[in-house]
Amino acid sequence: MKAVLARTFGPLEQLVLEEVEPRKPGPGEVAIAVKACGVNFFDALIVQGKYQTGPKYHSLRGVKWRV
């Protein structure tokens, strides 16, 4: 599957689209097929290090799902 990855804090131009191994769902989880996705405003602030509070770098992930 393809994933947009942030390897370090920085401008959005540093985000990269890469092929990654899909993660298998664990107990109580399901896998869904995603046709399209994007980087939302919150994600953009976090990867640039501009959000007032935020997770440590290793825990970055999207926060919105729309099905």
Whether the predicted model's global pTM rises above the 0.85 cut = no
What confidence tens digit (pLDDT) does each residue in 16-59 have?
889 988 888 999 999 888 888 888 888 888 888 887 765 555 45
pLDDT of 4 above 80: yes
Cα–Cα separations (whole angstroms), residue 51 to 13, 16, 33, 40, 56: 17, 20, 30, 13, 12
